Amino acid sequence: MAKPTLKPGDVVDGFAIGPLLHNGGMARLWSVTRPDIDFPVLMKVPRIDEGDDPAAIVSFEMEQMILPKLSGPHVPRFVANGDFATQPYIVMERIDGASLHPWLETLPRADDEVASLGAGVADALDAIHRQSVVHLDLKPSNIMFRPSGEAVLIDYGLACHIHMPDLMAEEFRLPYGTAPYMAPEQVIGRRTDFRSDLFALGVLLYFFATGIRPFGDPQRLSGLRKRLWRDPWPPRALRPGLSPALQEVILQCLEVKPDWRYQTAAQLANDLRDLSHVKRTARAERLKRDPWTEVIRRRFNPEPLGLHRPAVVAGQYADAPIVLVAIDLDTTSPELAAALRLATGRVVEKSPQARIACLNVQRINRISLDTTLDEKGHNKHVTRLVQLKDWARPIGGAEGAITYHVVEAIEPARAILDFARANKVDHIVMGARQSSALRTLIGSVAGEVAANAPCTVTVVRNRYAALLPTEAKLSRDQMDI
């Protein structure tokens, strides 16, 4: 049978128990060693003492199921676990980097620090969401940073894997989480929405930008439920110097209805990395909370913002992909440009919330110096941005859904791949080189991208370019995709 407590010097399945590192409300963390493990590890043991919360056991079972399914730099490496019939434990990598705890002593922080922190945490959320896991307990104490800089999310006891049984939901009716950070849908028992983690990140960004928690720290369910109808003070009302763009991002994360928030962590990370590209709405300039008439209307609405509807989480990334369209402005024919537009437009039709990134690689010389102006004295970078916008204008799409990027590189394929990896691109659309002689001579950029891309690649080839001089004559069966 399992021991209610361990002590230094005990040996469990070959793991030598060292000092107690943390004595939490639901589990204890012990430093452990084993001769065949050459990196720091710790053992997590659930609290099963007399009077301990039974939720600690269920929570521990959840973490035992979920942690082995996760991989990558944004989660602790799983090593081993033990059964409740003998000794329940999880042995995992011990993260020796910095935690967020010291930040709490020096709030509020500057906009660039808050945005950089948020982008790193959003990257970590994106990593676990793509592995079908919603964390549901994002807070400063559950975020650490490796010495190399990556954010690491720890403690998956309240998490939900959308393809595995949710024991917490099955066995408990009250919501579990950390009160200041819980999303409205989490408060009413919905645990399968990735966007709940984006709400929690919005709370954290608000807290670190202003020094104040947007919804306080309620201790009762009635206090938790207030966030379904009562909006927080806009951050700029508390800290007037805050960037309107950062307020826009924070308040979008804190929208009550998940459909009004960012749809993926990858999109949130992109905005936080470059606040100058954030599409501003009335949220950016707000300095007051909603009037009481609006609050009362929401309070007594029998269907509060549609939160009773089941979440469609498995398709959220499919519904809001980041699509990179790589366009060669120098050699692409009008017919192929039209075919690229048609292919991109089809993506927008199927996924109205898609983010389209139009990219042009301005090739630079390997040895000789390049100039920034063309023969007419126009800035090359600006000219290409204008050309990208002209190319994309017929696509349409929601305002702010298309962004434009010109990068300089010696090797276009590598630049496209680097952009795709850095921005969590889900789909690359690009044209095939039209001259077979050129493909033979210098190789295919599209082929190299397709062979090495971290995502889906669509290569558009207009077989009938010579016969179809106008965009109006193009149809789907005339594209080789």
Catalytically active residues, by annotation: 137
Positive/negative CA dihedral, 81, 96, 270, 111: positive
Number of neighbouring beta carbons within 10 Å of residue 3: 13
Q: Residue 127: which of 320, 269, 281, 298 has the closest Cα?
A: 269
- C-alpha 332, offset from chain centre: 34
Burial class (CB in 10 A: 0-12, 13-18, 19+), 5: exposed
Q: Residue 269: which of 74, 71, 124 has the closest Cα?
A: 124
**Beta strands 355-363 and 322-326: pairing type?**
parallel
Eight-class DSSP state of 144 = E
Structure-token pair, residue 106: 């020096």
Distance between CA atoms of residues 407 and 219, nearest Å:
51
Structure-token pair, residue 281: 């709405």
B/e letters for 69-96, b = 16+ CB within 10 Å, e = fewer, are: bbeeebbbbbbbbbeeeebbbbbbbbbe
Structure-token pair, residue 242: 């805050």
Cβ atoms of residues 192 and 162 within 8 Å: yes
Instruction: Annotate 389-428 with DSSP letters as a single string.
Output: HHHHGGG--STT-EEEEEEEES-HHHHHHHHHHHTT-SEE
| Bridge partners, 362 (sequence order) | 408
Distance between CA atoms of residues 241 and 423, nearest Å:
29
Amino acid at 311: A
| Bridge partners, 44 (sequence order) | 29, 90
Structure-token pair, residue 116: 């950089």
- What's the Rg (C-alpha) of the chain? 26
In degrees rounded to 5, what are phi and psi of residue 417? -65, -40
| Bridge partners, 80 (sequence order) | 91
